[in-house]
Structure 1
Amino acid sequence: MHSDVQEVWVKLNPDAVAVSRITEKSEKPNSLNEKVGRRPLPVVSWGWLITLAAFTLHFFTYGTLFSFGAMFVPLRDTFNSSETSVGWVGSISQGLGGLLSPFAGLMFEFIGFRFTTFIGISLCAGSLVLSSFVTSIPYMFVTFGLLFGTGTALVFNTSVNAVAAYFQGRSAAASGIALCGMTVGTLTLNSFLGVLIINFGWRNMLRILAGALVITCFPSCLAFKEPSHDILAATKEMEADEDDLSKGRDVWKYVRIFMTVDMLLLFSAVTIYSIACAFHYINLISFMYSIGINESSGCLVVTILGAADGLGRLLSSVVGDRLPCSRLYTLVVACVVGAIPTFCLVFIETFGLMVVYAIILGISRGVIFTMQYPVALETFGVRRGVEALTNVILAMGLGTLLGSSVGGMSFDRTGSYETSFYICGGQLSFAATLVLILIYYRKVKERRGETRYVHQTINTNPYLKRSVLYTYVSVV
């Protein structure tokens, strides 16, 4: 009689059984809690050391990419090229940083985090040196676009996954701090590169930047090592009841997760809002020139935009792991907030209004590009984190690559960026709509009993203040 009642209860409460199994596994005599308890400092401190190292790598790699606007006008004038062709140089490198993420994921799985980042930094430094000797823009498609983009892909994908591997479900704070390296790098390098170009020319600027990158980033690569076997084993035990789409070290695991409805919706949203945000990296300074804002004021606006972006990332780091609801809602709000001032760019003609625009859009952009990674982990689980993060980075790279044509083609054909503003604002609005559809789809699956949005306590790192993960768990 007792066994019959128990069987009925199990059928009616499958998610509770899954969570209880997770709890039982975490309480085994040889669990990670006990092993880490004997040596807490290396586990916790090394994760933060990797976060600091990732901050440094992002400072120089993406700080350089996002400061491409400082090189835009000198390159255009030196080679007498069109806005579109020069824009493609920066766009290819930014796009490949995401498009090559599956390759980067497979690479660090085979040779490890440390060697992958070493190779990436070597490619970036070599790219800058080679680009300083080019005689025409098409050569820069290869020297800067291809080589720097490939190096950035190896560095970025590896660092994001390394931080996620150490902090697992509680990665919003660490990811936000690491990604702030992009913002601080943009703020610092945008003005610094401008000074170097004025005093030494853009060719010598690239050589100086290559030397600085080697001196600071090579030592940072030493910090990247794989988590201990105990951490990885505990993660697998925690999610043993999840539907597994990521078995084996092969490229097909990325395809399998991509073909799910959840990833198709998230991938589309990330691609679309990345297209919209590419305008600000490539064409914003050129737009300000077109409305009569001088070079120094334009650089100040970009600096304010970067500072606001950093503020958005810090806010995400503070509250990202403490939200009472799904993190997907943060993407919806941030996209809508970013779309409003983008539409208003049509009417902006003064420096003051550009500052207001930069503050609002910067905060929105910072939240979007920080929370998209915790959103991926929340939606697909820690065990499939590599595949989920890789697809998100791939979507971001694809959007950035396509985004170069939005501003450049509009200006080359019409002599103004007005059409670009409507397109970019519409894309941010459409991305918010896709995320809302994803939220609705998850709720429908939950009502059907296909997934449960459950509260799980993660025991892999008891030294964090709050070790809780909200995630969707399959129960079919």
Structure 2
Amino acid sequence: MYASREDIGYDFGDDSKAGSKPIKPNPNIDGGWAWMIVFSSFLVHILIMGSQMALGILNMEWLEEFNQSRGLTAWVSSLSMGITLIVGPFIGLFITMCGCRKTAIIGGILNALGWILSAYASNVHYLFLTFGVTAGIGSGMVYLPAVVMVGQYFQKRRALAQGLSTTGTGFGAFLMTALLKYLCREFGWRNAMFIQGAICLNLCVCGALMRPLSPKDVNEKYAVRRNSEDNRAKALSHSAETIKSNGVLSEEPEKKEVIKNEEVLDDIKHIEIGGNSRIGKSMYGLRILKTVSQLTVTVRKGFGIWYSSYFGAASLFTNRVFVAFIIWALFAYSSFVIPFIHLPEIVKQYDLSSQNNIFPLTSIIAIVHIFGKVILGIISDLPCISTWNVFLMANFTLVTCILTLPLMQTYISLAVVCALIGFSSGYFSLMPVVTEDLVGTKHLANAYGIIICANGISALLGPPFAGWIYDITHKYDFSFYICGSLYMVGILFLFIQPYIGKKQSQEKSTEEAQV
């Protein structure tokens, strides 16, 4: 879905012959340059997600500078976080047409531009556009390719590679919190954002490292291994796939469209040759016509793949278990983001700034978050333990910490709760695994894009809601209580998922029996 012709060089021809050829080991898959991809993704997580987790420092500066309500000011950080995730499904269109490398480089430039322009902000609404929208879209254009490229380069060690790359979020939150605090203290928040924008230009370097796999590499990785079957079984399987495609474009019309487009391009080439022999002046116009035709073919094909992946895959939304998972995602991410945005302000209210300056609470969450991802991943890989149960327990622990955090008014107690928040939020590394268990490998990319989008909506609305509640009550307590309660509602949908799945499987078996 997120792979373009540049990235993987897809061959839409008949792959029935691929099974007869042995798959040779490729040094670029699960090794070699693949680890450079992991390193690139690790840096992206530091610069993108780590910076967003440290926005609480800038949020305090914006409150003092613009003297606006906490609810309005919190929208700046929420827009940046939310848009980064919400635009995920739409960034897939750019990846399909341009490839991961070009998309990431353009996103790096856009993200740096958002930071730099924000240094000249005259009001909060200016930050909405420059930092919230511009930097947010740029972040999304880098973040998604970083995740996708790791999946393309790894097959056997995919879980390990994704785990190592996503630990950059924890490292980034720790490093960027210290960096932004130092820059704001020494140079002021405007110069700090300008310097951070210059640092974010390194995202273009990370994008340049995302070298696309060659067609040969992809064929070795994605070659279809067919068992010896009779021709009748193959024909029946092919017919069933064509008729019942669950909204995904069938291969036959796609082949015809590709052939038709290639014929158009060939005609243009012949016209161009004839023009060279007869009228030299028409060469320039023919080349423009050829370029426009090729661009039209690329855009139509990319949009078709993107549209069919999200809006045509109706089976994802008819899966009631997956719909319950989406409802959970709508409430989950805000409870993790709110402490990062509002903890510095809470510490200031409790007169704990001197202790927090020595070791910030947000840094505690970030550091323990790294270990949480690794440890929860190791526990989930144990054969005697269910990944789903680990996922549920981590969610339940996190919502308990969110509900009890307002009761803690000393630095030690807040540090303990923040450590538990960081550890339990390590379940983010389990989300791709749980999603795959729910929808299967075939729909994993589409489903995970939808889950990320739901998390983005949660991150977008959560912190402003907490700030708005503070403006009314002059306390953050109710913000955590309300968001924690909504999060608990989402967890209840996780608890009833096994029942929903069992009922849905029974209905399917009944329908198959009737047929």
Give the TM-score, by structure 2 length. 0.76
Q: Partner letter of residue 385 of structure 1?
A: L
Is contact 2:335–2:462 with CA below 8 Å preserved after alignment?
Answer: yes
Q: Distance in 2 between matches of 1:295 and 1:260?
A: 51
Aligned to 1:209: 196
Match of residue 46, structure 1, among 29, 33, 36: 33
Deviation at 1:65, TM superposition (A): 1.0
Q: Distance in 1 between matches of 2:51 and 2:43?
A: 12
Deviation at 1:165, TM superposition (A): 3.0
Question: Structure 2 vs 1, CA of residues 209 and 412 (structure 1 numbering), >3 Å: closer, same or farther?
Answer: same
Number of corresponding residues:
422
Question: Structure 2 vs 1, CA of residues 286 and 188 (structure 1 numbering), >3 Å: closer, same or farther?
Answer: same
Deviation at 1:49, TM superposition (A): 2.2
Structure number with larger C-alpha Rg:
2
Q: Distance in 2 between matches of 1:27 and 1:447?
A: 37
Q: Partner letter of residue 113 of structure 1?
A: C
Q: Partner letter of residue 309 of structure 2?
A: K
Matched, 1:30 2:21: yes
Q: Partner letter of residue 30 of structure 1?
A: K
Is contact 1:176–1:316 with CA below 8 Å preserved after alignment?
Answer: no
Deviation at 1:27, TM superposition (A): 11
Aligned to 1:276: 335
Question: Structure 2 vs 1, CA of residues 324 and 398 (structure 1 numbering), >3 Å: closer, same or farther?
Answer: farther
Q: Secondary structure, in 3 states, of the residue corresponding to 2:120? A: coil
Matched, 1:229 2:289: no
Q: Distance in 1 between matches of 2:205 and 2:495?
A: 43
Cα RMSD after superposing both structures? 2.8
Aligned to 1:366: 426
Deviation at 1:380, TM superposition (A): 2.1
Aligned to 2:120: 133
Is contact 2:248–2:308 with CA below 8 Å preserved after alignment?
Answer: no
Aligned to 1:14: none
Q: Partner letter of residue 271 of structure 1?
A: L
Matched, 1:71 2:58: yes
Deviation at 1:226, TM superposition (A): 4.0
- The aligned runs of 1:64-463 (5 Å cut-off) are 64-167=51-154, 171-214=158-201, 216-227=202-213, 228-230=217-219, 233-234=222-223, 245=246, 247-248=248-249, 249-255=305-311, 256=314, 257-294=316-353, 297=356, 300-324=360-384, 326-367=386-427, 369-446=428-505
Structure 2 spans left out of the alignment, 5+ residues: 1-15, 228-236, 250-304
Question: Structure 2 vs 1, CA of residues 149 and 268 (structure 1 numbering), >3 Å: closer, same or farther?
Answer: same
Structure 1 spans left out of the alignment, 5+ residues: 1-24, 452-475
Q: Partner letter of residue 204 of structure 2?
A: F
Runs of 4+ in 1 over 6 A off after TM superposition: 235-243
Is contact 1:172–1:371 with CA below 8 Å preserved after alignment?
Answer: no
Deviation at 1:392, TM superposition (A): 1.2
Deviation at 1:148, TM superposition (A): 1.1
Deviation at 1:294, TM superposition (A): 1.2
Deviation at 1:371, TM superposition (A): 1.3
Deviation at 1:186, TM superposition (A): 0.5
Q: Distance in 2 between matches of 1:189 and 1:99?
A: 23
Q: Distance in 1 between matches of 2:372 and 2:145?
A: 23
Q: Secondary structure, in 3 states, of the residue corresponding to 2:306? A: coil
Q: Distance in 2 between matches of 1:235 and 1:74?
A: 56
Q: Distance in 1 between matches of 2:347 and 2:410?
A: 9
Aligned to 2:288: none
Q: Secondary structure, in 3 states, of the residue corresponding to 1:53? A: helix
